[in-house]
Amino acid sequence: MSKKRNTTLKELSKELSLSISTVSRALNDHPDISLATKERVKKLAKQMNYVPNLFARGFRSRETHILGVIVPNISHLFTSTIIKGIIEEAELRGYRVIISESNNDDAKQVEMLNTMTQFGVDGVLMSLARKTKDVEELLKVLNRIPIVLFDKVSSKIPCTQVVINEEEAAFNAVEHLIELGKKRIAIIKETENSYNSEKRFAGYLRALNQYKIPVRDKLILSTEDISLGNGRRLANILISMKKRPDAIFAITDNAAIGAIKALHKFKIKIPDEIAVVGFSNSINSTIISPALTTVDQPGDKIGRTAVRFLIQEIESQPNEVHTKTVEIKTSLIVRDSSLKA
């Protein structure tokens, strides 16, 4: 059985007795080619199932109208809302998107970035792997094509970065708990080397300090993987304390939902005994009972904004340096997990 392959411009030109250049221009509706020739070429291209090679075309024109996207975890609910925004905005502007995930692996992230540049993408949108330390390879790519970072970013990379004000959002969440009269507020966060987690932790600390509430080390719990399971596990540790917290601020909705499940198991009243606040306003935050108070991160808007700035940079003058930080506003959605009866 012969190996399947695409019809080439050369094969079309041979069948039509035209030059490759003429066939190519006819397919691209070039004004120099007559209408009759265009129709003849397009008719045969359809019959022979010709599909244009975008990468070959991009190699010739130095533009593919393809954007690369690299994220730590595609299945993450918040990430999926960002990706949806990216795809829709890119399509509106005539660009296609290639998506890859790093699985929070620094080496894989670099490999994906290099693969995308080899494919000839016009620019890359990236949310960094959790343990990104060495940015040397990223800086090399940044010298060749535009990169825009979103969500998980780094001050070491001089490029446009689309973020929320993580610290301010966390401050508002903890301030809300303090205004409810809560004094022993625990936090469930990631271990160090997470930009988002450290910013949210800074907001937590600032709220406690501003309201002169003691920072208690026992109420600060960290985990490598900020999942529902670990949220439940760390909440169990808090529940088993002689002097329990009266509120839990988890830096993700998943961890907060895990905490709610642990509280249910021990029949602890939410929010009367322990209030719970999460972060990201995922779809699961409304499914859990009680419904979760959470910081709304507009993922769709983050994705669309990142695309707009990347395309702006692709289409701007070469060698122009872009180093701005674009901040997307958040809001606290107050629901039953912290709502006074």
pTM: 0.81
pLDDT of residue 54: 58
CB atoms within 10 A of CB 24: 19
pLDDT of residue 31: 86
Go through the domains of the chain in sequence order and give each one's CATH number: 9-52 (1.10.260.40), 66-163+299-328 (3.40.50.2300), 166-296 (3.40.50.2300)
* CA end-to-end distance (rounded Å), the chain: 72
Tokens of 212: 């002169």
Tokens 């120099």 sit on residue: 32
C-alpha to C-alpha distance for 6 and 56, rounded to whole angstroms: 13
22-26, 130-134, 193-197, 250-254: range with highest mean pLDDT: 250-254
Put the strands of the sheet holding 331-333 in their side by side order.
220-223, 185-190, 247-250, 275-280, 293-296, 331-333
Q: For 118-137, how does the pLDDT look when each residue is reduced to its tens digit (9 = 90+)?
A: 888 999 999 999 878 779 98
What length does the chain have?
Answer: 341
Helix (H) or strand (E) run with residue 190 in it: strand 185-190
Q: Using alpha carbons, select from 152, 106, 163 the residue that is nearest to residue 126.
A: 152
C-alpha to C-alpha distance for 231 and 264, rounded to whole angstroms: 13
Q: For 57-105, how does the pLDDT look when each residue is reduced to its tens digit (9 = 90+)?
A: 555 555 788 999 999 999 888 899 999 999 999 999 999 999 999 999 9
Report yes or no: 187 and 201 within 8 Å, Cβ to Cβ. yes
**Which residues, including other chains, have CB under 8 Å from residue 237's CB and lie 6 or more apart?**
221
